Amino acid sequence: MSDTACCGTASAPAIKPKLKTICIEARADEKYKVAVQAEEHTLYVDQAVSAGGEGAGPNPVEYLFASLAGCIATTGRIIASQQKLDLKGMDIKVEGALDLNILSGKSRDGRAGLTGIKVSVALDSEMSELERQGFFKELRSRCPISDTIAAATPITITTL
């Protein structure tokens, strides 16, 4: 087999994926509080007291939004560092809506998930408009959490 493309030009060698498996473990108690062990960190997922929880931590959707904002910030910092862009900081807002009637079992009309996610980012930077456009294009293509959500990544739920 030839290593040239149809027009006789050499194709670039494929870079093998460098995969890192990430794993957390969680334990749910008799109410809504869930203790999550992520390496040496313990996080608590819970519901507000008004929703029957203890208020020990953010709810699952808030953690999803926090993960997305954190990933955007981290990926942005990596890009700015690699491209030597002036980036002093970022302000990120993530919002979305879901139907609580579906979550609570009162309705089956529609989806249980979010109707959409809106992310607003303000850069504290002296980047030119062209640099900003390139930065956001690169950010959209490299943020793992954004890609995972947007690509409808398959989820398998099994028993232990």
Q: How much is the pLDDT for 30?
A: 86
Q: What is the DSSP string of the chain?
A: --SB-TTSPBPPPPPPP-------EEEE-SSS-EEEEETTEEEEE---GGGTS---S--HHHHHHHHHHHHHHHHHHHHHHHTT----EEEEEEEE---HHHHTTS--SS-SS-S-EEEEEEEES---HHHHHHHHHHHHHH-HHHHHHHTT--------
Q: How much is the pLDDT for 10?
A: 61
Burial class (CB in 10 A: 0-12, 13-18, 19+), 71: buried
Q: Which amino acid makes up residue 32? A: Y
Q: How much is the pLDDT for 3?
A: 45
* β-strand partners of 10: 4
Whole-structure pTM value:
0.87
Q: Are the C-beta atoms of residues 46 and 53 closer than 8 Å to each other?
A: yes
* Residue ranges of the chain whose pLDDT lies below 50: 1-6
Q: In what order do the strands lie in the sheet with 25-28?
A: 25-28, 34-38, 41-45
Segment 55-94, tens digit of pLDDT: 999 999 999 999 999 999 999 999 999 999 999 999 999 9
Q: Are the C-beta atoms of residues 37 and 51 closer than 8 Å to each other?
A: no
